[in-house]
Structure 1
Amino acid sequence: MPEIGKLLETGDPWEPYLLLDPFGSPVEPVSVYFKDLMAGPYSPLTPRSYGMDLLRWWRFLWVLGIEWDRATSEDARDFTLWMKLGDKPVRVHWRHRGKDPSEIPPPRADRPAPGTPNPVTGKPTVGTKYSPRTRAHFETVLRTFYDWHLDNNSGALLVNPFPLDRSRHRGKRRPNGQGEQGRQGERANSHHNPMDEFKKERKGRYRPTIPKQIPRRIPDDKYTEVFAGLRSHRDRALLAFWVSNGARAEELLSPKQCDAKVGQQTIGVIRKGTGEYQELPANTDAFVWLRLYQEEAWKKGVPRGRAQPLWWTLRRPWRPLEYDAARMMFNRANALLGANWTLHDLRHTATFLMLDDPDMPPVYVQKILGHKHLSTLDIYSRPTKDDVISAGLAHHARQEKKRNDPPPATPAPAYNRESLNVLFGGPSA
């Protein structure tokens, strides 16, 4: 797929992202859709997430010369097959852009092959194909995009090329209160009884099945090794906060200097999605590292003030720390171990630590994590891969010990009951 067109970040809060065609002109159907997203309860990063999927779809349409409002379900089917079978484009590192391919060094031989499990963490590395989660996100974005234009009568669009699953259109007829006939299955879990569990209903015809993933925790010994590989007090403070209060990576980067309340041992963050302010508890080690970082940073000239950001870059010019820089910091510490843990695994690790405490009610863990429902903690009650392997090996060890133990001694023969009656004067036979 030729990489024509691009998604442009404008810096304009009214229109943060624009999808541009190969000639540099905005794609009007996408621009109108983005404005509707910005007016709704969505994050400013939502147009970026949706825009990447829309750009991929528009490139397919541009190559085949298909107008966006003339695409059919066959076109959507072919593109879904391409995403399932085709390879992802290889991104060239910025250091190697413009160089001759012969001058680019080959990948390191000690790195695991794409898609294979990491030898340290057991997590699969990024593969060469699009993952089911990426394809499911694409299908949802495109189906809702076309549904929105159908509702607004945009262009010559007549049908949605990304239809619902066929089985959901053949629902049974249900009489309503006035004797009329209504059709079930117009949406997933329609007419759901709140007392029952939600059914697993597929929404889109081309939506893949997403395998359920069990959260992974970083073992204590490995966490100690990662922590030892950090280069600054700032990084140690960040890691200590992430693994103690379970905040999301971008949430912990949101506090101001006044939000770190050492006396109360809490730090205030802006919650993702809702945008609400919430104070989270953290352990004392995190505040010790934070104080060491602040003393060091203020001596270097980092801006100081209650309204100033809490986290800054380590070098001039001073800039507030962003997510990409924090992620690269953690990746460098990972590289020392050959691991591929992510910042979100720190949130999972904090959740496991809180749930392992019998005196910590799960409802409090739910509030600390910012989850809407308590049922979202069910995934942490499932055994992890490491737990299953450890339990299996312990079982085999017990069986081996049982086979190697000497056989139990043969019990002594019992006394004859008639002889005991004669000896002790019991009843005669």
Structure 2
Amino acid sequence: MPAADGPARDLKNLVLPEIGRLLETGDQWEPYRLLDPAGDPVRPVTLYFKELLAADSPATTLYSYGNDLLRWWRFLWILRIEWDRATRENARDFTLWMKQADKPVRLHWRHRGKPWATPPLPPARKPAPGTPNPVTGKLSIGTKYAASTRAHCETVLRTFYDFHLERNSGSLLVNPFPLDRSRSRGRPNAHHSPMDDFKPQRAGRYRPKVPEQAPRRIPDNKYTEVFASLRYHRDRALLASWVSTGARAEELLTSKERDAIPGQQLIGVIRKGTRVYQQLPASPDAFVWLRLYQEEEAWGKGAPRGRNQPLWWTLRRPWRPLNYHAAYAMFKRVNEILGANWTLHDLRHTASYRMTNDPEMSMAYVQHILGHKYQSTLQKYINPSRDEVIAAGIAHHARQERKKREPTPAPPSPAYNPESLAVLFGETPA
């Protein structure tokens, strides 16, 4: 094996083994725990998770950060490098590996432990990885790590080492993932206009540039097809509630039976970041489908009933509260039927576009409903969407084609000067 900092390291053929894991404990004091190949907790990560919990970070943040830390630890394990002895050359090689390497292909849980079982072949109409979807126009998930994934990983690792530098943990002397100070020469925010927002002046040295993409919505005609592809009243009630309230997917799943108030057209949810309870207005259709779901698919089949019981349940025994992964699987089946690749978050974008484009809807109300901290965040929904731009461009070309097919009017024939004719025929004196 080459030396830890040697130039002969073969990054092209480096494959991270599936060693170690991120364990979900179910304990609110330690929701997730990073384990090494021997099954022992990784103490530096455990301390960092405690810091995040004390800073009022939700469990989902620990799960997201834990996956990035697990990837970095696997890189260190295979190269036999201690976490507090990692150098900037190691961080550089890890960044290059994430940029060029293929993501690991994980089998479905039904195929795990069965070497003879192979995953099902993708349908013929499914686009190749990284190519645009013919229905939505969105790029499908590629085989490489996306720029947003690499940027998130760089941020997590940089803040992780900053935390341990403040604590003087181990033999750590420098942060392997430093800031790039050359990008901000001079005073930060120099010549800043008071009309503009402050922008971050420093970025990580190994942080990639993430292109800013416009939010995608589901057009009205496609939304009808999505709604028609649903099989159960529960799924129809969920879809109508997501699109009408603008709540995030996991926020709506926190509602209890007492939170649905049909008489006032309100559904109460717990916000993702602040964990604040908020009532959101919903459409009448959402409550119609909700009642049908409760009478026919939940209460009618023996699901738990009560004001403090969850509003959304699985459709089969044993009854369990519906979680995000089950809702994602439901929407994934709809995408497979339509050959699309919309996400649950696109439903929130759809609701945002509908509210911001309503001339009688104040932006202050939309900001409160969506739970945004700044009203400037709504600017991306005021801009024309991809579908509107394409429709306007096609209409422009159609008008140009009609102009080409219209007959060209003949130029006016030359005529005599009326004053000259009057003089000629003696109507007026010369």
TM-score using structure 2 length: 0.91
2:397 is matched with which residue? 396
Once residues 387 and 325 of structure 1 are traced to their aligned partners in structure 2, the CA distance between those partners, rounded to angstroms, is 32
- Of the structure 1 ranges 338-347 and 377-386, higher mean CA displacement relative to structure 2 is found in 377-386
Equivalent runs, 1:166-315 vs 2, <5 Å = 166-168=181-183, 171-172=185-186, 184-185=187-188, 195-199=195-199, 201-296=201-296, 297-315=298-316
Distance 1:26 1:194, change over 3 A: farther
Q: Which amino acid aligns with 1:362?
A: M
Once residues 128 and 267 of structure 1 are traced to their aligned partners in structure 2, the CA distance between those partners, rounded to angstroms, is 39
SS in 2 for 1:116: coil
Once residues 425 and 77 of structure 1 are traced to their aligned partners in structure 2, the CA distance between those partners, rounded to angstroms, is 98
Distance 1:229 1:322, change over 3 A: same
User: Identity percentage over the alignment?
Assistant: 70
- Of the structure 1 ranges 70-79 and 348-357, higher mean CA displacement relative to structure 2 is found in 348-357
SS in 1 for 2:66: helix
Number of residue pairs matched by the alignment: 413
Once residues 190 and 33 of structure 1 are traced to their aligned partners in structure 2, the CA distance between those partners, rounded to angstroms, is 34
1:347 is matched with which residue? 348
SS in 2 for 1:19: strand
Once residues 288 and 153 of structure 1 are traced to their aligned partners in structure 2, the CA distance between those partners, rounded to angstroms, is 59
Q: Which amino acid aligns with 2:44?
A: P
What does the per-residue CA deviation read over 1:121-169, in whole Å, with 9 as the maximum and x for residues that have no partner?
A: 111111110000000000000000001111111111111010111414x
- Report the Cα offset of residue 216 of structure 1: 1.2
2:145 is matched with which residue? 130
- Report the Cα offset of residue 112 of structure 1: 1.4
- Report the Cα offset of residue 267 of structure 1: 0.8
Once residues 320 and 344 of structure 1 are traced to their aligned partners in structure 2, the CA distance between those partners, rounded to angstroms, is 20
Cα RMSD of the aligned pairs, angstroms, is: 2.1
TM-score using structure 1 length: 0.91
Q: Is 2:378 the partner of 1:371?
A: no
SS in 1 for 2:124: coil
Once residues 251 and 420 of structure 1 are traced to their aligned partners in structure 2, the CA distance between those partners, rounded to angstroms, is 86
SS in 1 for 2:226: helix
Contact 2:312–2:322 (8 Å) recurs in 1 = yes
Once residues 110 and 321 of structure 2 are traced to their aligned partners in structure 1, the CA distance between those partners, rounded to angstroms, is 25
Alignment counterpart, residue 73 of structure 1, candidates 88, 96, 100: 88
Distance 1:100 1:196, change over 3 A: closer
Q: Which amino acid aligns with 2:370?
A: L
Once residues 346 and 35 of structure 1 are traced to their aligned partners in structure 2, the CA distance between those partners, rounded to angstroms, is 34
- Of the structure 1 ranges 386-395 and 52-61, higher mean CA displacement relative to structure 2 is found in 386-395
Q: Is 2:54 the partner of 1:53?
A: no
Once residues 379 and 58 of structure 1 are traced to their aligned partners in structure 2, the CA distance between those partners, rounded to angstroms, is 37
Once residues 310 and 165 of structure 1 are traced to their aligned partners in structure 2, the CA distance between those partners, rounded to angstroms, is 48
SS in 1 for 2:34: strand
SS in 2 for 1:95: coil
- Report the Cα offset of residue 421 of structure 1: 6.3
Distance 1:15 1:162, change over 3 A: same
- Report the Cα offset of residue 104 of structure 1: 4.8
- Of the structure 1 ranges 411-420 and 65-74, higher mean CA displacement relative to structure 2 is found in 411-420
Distance 1:132 1:298, change over 3 A: same
Q: Which amino acid aligns with 2:211?
A: P
SS in 2 for 1:96: coil
Once residues 106 and 405 of structure 1 are traced to their aligned partners in structure 2, the CA distance between those partners, rounded to angstroms, is 52
Distance 1:190 1:82, change over 3 A: farther
What does the per-residue CA deviation read over 1:39-63, in whole Å, with 9 as the maximum and x for residues that have no partner?
A: 1121122111111101100111111
2:19 is matched with which residue? 4
